[in-house]
Structure 1
């Protein structure tokens, strides 16, 4: 394989590492029923997996060699990209709710209601956007050399309302919650540690790490959403009625690297979206992969492996040659 990208295989290596670091903390977050962090890891992990596979298959070509995979990966990209921001909204809501408790414990009914709401935000919104995208999808998918399969979107006003606006809208909602959380944190900073640990089992350090994750995502993904709208709006925005004349699901646009790299802003938009899951995966791992809870789980995993291999060794010794004195 002779990739047109001179940095190849840097991206596949980093995206593979992003897959790994996305799912390392997943088991203990899942056991704790942390919907926001679990959906964040699923979104970044699946997004990185898709980009990892695509970057290998289409490193040096634009051949339509895996159409079914492209159907799947294009939809995954839509859902995962929205899933990252919707997960951040779940986390920001959780932090805000903790900051308003003032020592009051939550009831089982309240916890159940919050679980339902958070699940709808984390998983329902991405599924909704995937469904809405079909309305403004003019063809099956696009293939970009070096990048791989990408969703195709008809450049109409409806596309900005049904598809492009979601990361920005969700990011603004997260921003509102975060501002209110900071205000509550400042007003009740003396009793904060007691409130956080009493009502949620969350240490102050973990609370702060979640806040930092929310801010990093807000100040990265929300501007990226605005940038995508700006880049898309530079082209002629057609009326929605023109979609009926343009829809052709038998059509697939094949875009060589020389074409999508010709325009500086378009190239930036493509490459930024390409790197978003890798960046988000590593940011999450930096905040949570080295925390005290992570170290305890690493130790448990290590002890389990020791016992596993120790038991195997003992059985092999018992069934094999006896020990000599």
Structure 2
């Protein structure tokens, strides 16, 4: 890999580990129908996978060697980057609804409706933003040396409304939900354990871990969204009508490391977005990979593997004891 990259080979290693830790808790969250956490793991896992592959292919070059992969990965980056904050909004909304229950469990119809709304938030918003980005997409994609494929965005006022503002807007909504949840938590703190377990089968410790995850995301990803807007707004913001003169979906912009690293704020924006999925993956695993529910699933997996290998060993031994006639 290129000697000028200070994260080589640290970044590929950590991004690969981020893929692994993103999907380790996925199965039991999926069984529990936790839409927000499942979407969070999918977003961070897929985002880390894309960045891992990109960091290897374009470690020391800026050649357009995999155009179809870049088409796909650029869309994944758009959807996953918004998906992380959208997942946090779904989680914060779930926690707020639980704090309102006052010990009354949800009916099956209410649970089904609540699940549909969370699916729309966690998956529908990223898909919407992916569709809206096409409106302000001037070319096929960009390739940054040491970073890889990135979505291309035309710097116009429409881009801030259709694309850049979403992480900030979603983060603000999460902040409102979280503030209301904290208020309800404070007003009903004595009944909190009963409320959480009655309505969702959720232990108080898991509820608090989800709240901490929401706060970490709000205080990290929302400022990153604001910072991205500030960095983009420093350049000349062109009128939307100029897009028709420059759009070319067959063209690709190649950006050497020396070029994108020359601007200190621009470099910070690129590298922060590069590290976001890795950071979010490890934060999620720290909160949920060592919890009691996780340890139970680890023990089940260990017992299943032990039983599988012991049965296999018994069959091999039995076969070896059969004497030929």
Q: Which residue of 1 aligns with 2:97?
A: 97
Cα displacement (A) at 1:3? 4.7
Q: Which residue of 2 aligns with 1:133?
A: 133
Q: How does 1:101-180 map to 2 (within 5 A)?
A: 101-180=101-180
In structure 1, distance between residues paired with 2:7 and 2:128: 36
Cα displacement (A) at 1:85? 0.2
Q: Which residue of 2 aligns with 1:69?
A: 69
Cα RMSD, aligned residues only: 1.0
Q: Which residue of 1 aligns with 2:246?
A: 246
CA-to-aligned-CA distance 1:7-62 (integer Å, 9 cap, x gap): 31100000000000000000100010000000000000000000000000000000
Q: Does 1:13 align with 2:10?
A: no
Q: Which residue of 2 aligns with 1:185?
A: 185
> SS of the residue aligned with 2:7?
coil
> SS of the residue aligned with 2:189?
coil
Q: How does 1:247-266 map to 2 (within 5 A)?
A: 247-266=247-266
Q: Which residue of 2 aligns with 1:58?
A: 58
CA-to-aligned-CA distance 1:151-206 (integer Å, 9 cap, x gap): 00000000000000000000000000000000000000000000100111000000
Cα displacement (A) at 1:4? 3.4
Contact 1:93–1:177 under 8 Å retained in 2 = yes
Q: How does 1:174-323 map to 2 (within 5 A)?
A: 174-321=174-321
Contact 1:89–1:174 under 8 Å retained in 2 = yes
Q: Which residue of 1 aligns with 2:41?
A: 41
Question: What is the TM-score with the length of structure 2 in the denominator?
Answer: 0.98
Cα displacement (A) at 1:321? 2.5
In structure 2, distance between residues paired with 1:49 and 1:88: 20
In structure 2, distance between residues paired with 1:8 and 1:204: 41
What runs of 5+ residues in structure 1 fail to find an aligned partner?
none
> SS of the residue aligned with 1:252?
strand
- Using the TM superposition, name which of 46-55 and 308-317 deviates more: 308-317
Cα displacement (A) at 1:249? 1.1
In structure 1, distance between residues paired with 2:150 and 2:197: 44
In structure 2, distance between residues paired with 1:162 and 1:234: 18
What runs of 5+ residues in structure 2 fail to find an aligned partner?
none
CA-to-aligned-CA distance 1:103-139 (integer Å, 9 cap, x gap): 1111111011001100000100000000000000000
Cα displacement (A) at 1:322? 5.8
> SS of the residue aligned with 2:190?
coil
In structure 1, distance between residues paired with 2:48 and 2:217: 16
Contact 1:4–1:146 under 8 Å retained in 2 = no
> SS of the residue aligned with 1:155?
coil
> SS of the residue aligned with 2:142?
strand
Contact 1:3–1:59 under 8 Å retained in 2 = no
Contact 1:103–1:198 under 8 Å retained in 2 = yes
> SS of the residue aligned with 1:191?
helix
Cα displacement (A) at 1:6? 3.5
Cα displacement (A) at 1:2? 4.0
Question: What is the TM-score with the length of structure 1 in the denominator?
Answer: 0.98
> SS of the residue aligned with 1:254?
strand
Cα displacement (A) at 1:216? 0.1
> SS of the residue aligned with 1:310?
helix
Q: After the TM superposition, which parts of structure 1 deviate over 4 Å for at least 4 consecutive aligned residues?
A: none
In structure 2, distance between residues paired with 1:178 and 1:120: 19
> SS of the residue aligned with 1:115?
helix
